[in-house]
Amino acid sequence: MNHEPSPKTLIVIAGPTASGKTAAAIRLAQYYKTVILSADSRQFYREMSIGTAKPDAGELAAAKHYFIDSHSVTEPFSVGDFEKQALTLLDELFKVHDLVILVGGSGLYIKALCEGFDEIPQADPEIREQLNHEFDTKGIGALQEELKLADPVYYNAVDLSNPQRIIRALEVFRSSGNPFSSYRKATLNQRPFNLLKIALDLPREVLYNRINRRVDEMIKQGLVDEVKQLIPYRHVNALNTVGYSELFDYFDGKTDLDRAVELIKQNTRRFAKRQVTWFRKDKDIYWLGPEAIQPETISGLLNQS
């Protein structure tokens, strides 16, 4: 077997929402004359733009992006689907590029592409939040029914009165697209490319201020109208997410607009905190401030690895 290191490298730019990942990735893509794959589990969807902080037209023109607007919210698209499609795409891209950039805050999607799944994959923190919200609003019965359809094997084995066990099984299913009961052994895969993983590191106060300003900007850009147009699809899992759930509650008359906006900020800050916790567990990640994501810094790290 050939153990020579691959000359091809995937540079991962990770980190919490609103930390400046898009600008950093574009800067590197332009310098290295390469392309960007998005690993943001909501930017895949064409119908969700303002609330997902997609790269704007100028940013998309500055560097070629993949997995932006690639799917409709009405199409099921699991992390397993992403892993397969992204690996196939990388095979093609590495024929013409020595370096490709992966950018995003969805830790499970990054993990899937970089190494495959653990024995039982961790779920995207946002999916766990969705399930907890559904448990609070719909009760345990709705979750039991979903589990019965998604994973009858585990449904017949689990204590159905234990919501945490049910939520754990469903978050794995929703994240990976595979039943909880199907995970029996580790499936970590050696990838045919090198990895350089970087996460953006900002002081918490700075990050939270950026999040608050971004939400205000989303409202100015028309987030309320974007969510209103999506009401017919609100049952779709992709829309059960921060920035959309709060405004669906506003349209339902459960809260006023000012309160909904405050909740979006609060829930986004909580989500960012969970993202940081997720990425901190990965000991292979270099943590850098946004201003440090410069070609000379990256080249130095590439030479070390």
Examine residue 35 and state whether it is found in any structural domain, yes or no: yes
Final residue of a structural domain among 182, 200, 229: 182
Measured CA to CA, the distance from residue 226 to residue 141 in angstroms comes to: 31
Note whether 45 and 83 are same-domain residues.
yes
DSSP state for residue 6 in the 8-state scheme: P
Rounded to whole angstroms, what are the CA distances from 220 to 50, 215, 261? 10, 9, 12
Note whether 170 and 293 are same-domain residues.
no
Q: Nearest 10 degrees: CA dihedral of 234, 174, 24, 211?
A: 50
Note whether 98 and 15 are same-domain residues.
yes
Note whether 157 and 104 are same-domain residues.
no
Examine residue 4 and state whether it is found in any structural domain, yes or no: no
Cβ proximity of 268 and 274 under 8 Å: no
Note whether 231 and 201 are same-domain residues.
yes
Note whether 111 and 24 are same-domain residues.
yes
Final residue of a structural domain among 182, 199, 230: 182
Note whether 160 and 285 are same-domain residues.
no
Q: How far apart are the first and last CA of the chain?
A: 21
Q: How confident is the model at residue 160, as a pLDDT?
A: 79
Q: How confident is the model at residue 297, as a pLDDT?
A: 92
Examine residue 299 and state whether it is found in any structural domain, yes or no: yes
Rounded to whole angstroms, what are the CA distances from 198 to 15, 82, 111, 136, 261? 8, 21, 13, 36, 31
Note whether 103 and 140 are same-domain residues.
no
- Local structure of 65: helix, strand or coil: strand
Cβ proximity of 102 and 37 under 8 Å: yes
Examine residue 85 and state whether it is found in any structural domain, yes or no: yes
Q: How confident is the model at residue 1, as a pLDDT?
A: 42
The CATH number of the domain holding residue 138 is 1.10.20.140
Note whether 47 and 154 are same-domain residues.
no
Q: How confident is the model at residue 185, as a pLDDT?
A: 46
Examine residue 229 and state whether it is found in any structural domain, yes or no: yes
The CATH number of the domain holding residue 52 is 3.40.50.300
Cβ proximity of 104 and 87 under 8 Å: no
Examine residue 1 and state whether it is found in any structural domain, yes or no: no
Q: What is the mean pLDDT of each run of 10 residues along the chain (305 residues)?
A: 66 97 96 97 95 95 97 87 94 97 93 78 82 90 94 81 85 88 64 95 97 98 98 87 94 97 96 91 94 91 84
Final residue of a structural domain among 182, 208, 225: 182
Note whether 156 and 266 are same-domain residues.
no
Note whether 131 and 161 are same-domain residues.
yes
Examine residue 2 and state whether it is found in any structural domain, yes or no: no
Domain span at residue 142 reads 125-182
Q: How confident is the model at residue 117, as a pLDDT?
A: 65
Note whether 211 and 274 are same-domain residues.
yes
Helix axes 107-115, 257-280, angle to 10 degrees: 30
What ranges in the chain are assigned the alpha helix state H? Answer: 21-32, 57-62, 79-93, 107-115, 125-138, 140-150, 152-155, 163-176, 204-221, 223-229, 245-251, 257-280, 295-304
Count of domains forming the chain: 2
Examine residue 283 and state whether it is found in any structural domain, yes or no: yes
